Amino acid sequence: METLYIPVILGTVRQERMSHPVARLMTAELAKRDGVETELIDIATLPLPTNNAGEAIKDPAFSSRMTRADALVIVAPEYNHGYSGMLKHVLDSCLKEYIHKAVGIVGVSAGPFGGARVIENLLPVMRELGLVTIFWDVNFGNVRKLFDADGKLLDEAFIKRIDKFLGELVWMAKTLRYGRENVKV
pLDDT, tens only, 3-35: 999 999 999 999 888 999 999 999 999 999 999
Q: pTM, whole model, 2 decimals? A: 0.96
For residue 50, the tally of other CB atoms under 10 A from its CB is: 9
Residue 19 sits at φ, ψ, to 5 deg, of -75, -20
Residue 83 CA to residue 115 CA, distance in Å, equals 9
Q: Annotate 130-164 with b (16+ C-beta within 10 A) or e (fewer).
A: ebbbbebbbbbbebeebbeeeeebeeeebeeebee
Q: For the chain, give the mean pLDDT.
A: 96
Q: Where are the beta strands (DSSP E) in 40-179?
A: 40-42, 71-77, 101-108, 131-133, 138-140
Do 75 and 9 touch, CB atoms closer than 8 A?
yes
The SS3 assignment for 75 reads strand
Tens digit of each residue's pLDDT (9 = 90 or more) over 57-104: 999 999 999 999 999 999 999 998 899 999 999 999 999 999 999 999
Is residue 69 within 8 Å of residue 5, measured between CB atoms? yes
Helix, strand, coil tally for the chain in percent (to 5):
45, 20, 35
Residues in CB range of 2: below 8 A, 6 or more apart: none
Percent of the chain with pLDDT over 70: 99
Per the document, the length of the chain is 185
Q: What residue ranges define each of the domains in the chain, with the CATH number in brackets? A: 4-182 (3.40.50.360)
- 94, 124 contact by CB (below 8 A): no
Residues 154/145, Cβ–Cβ less than 8 Å: yes
Confidence of residue 114 (pLDDT cuts 50, 70, 90): confident
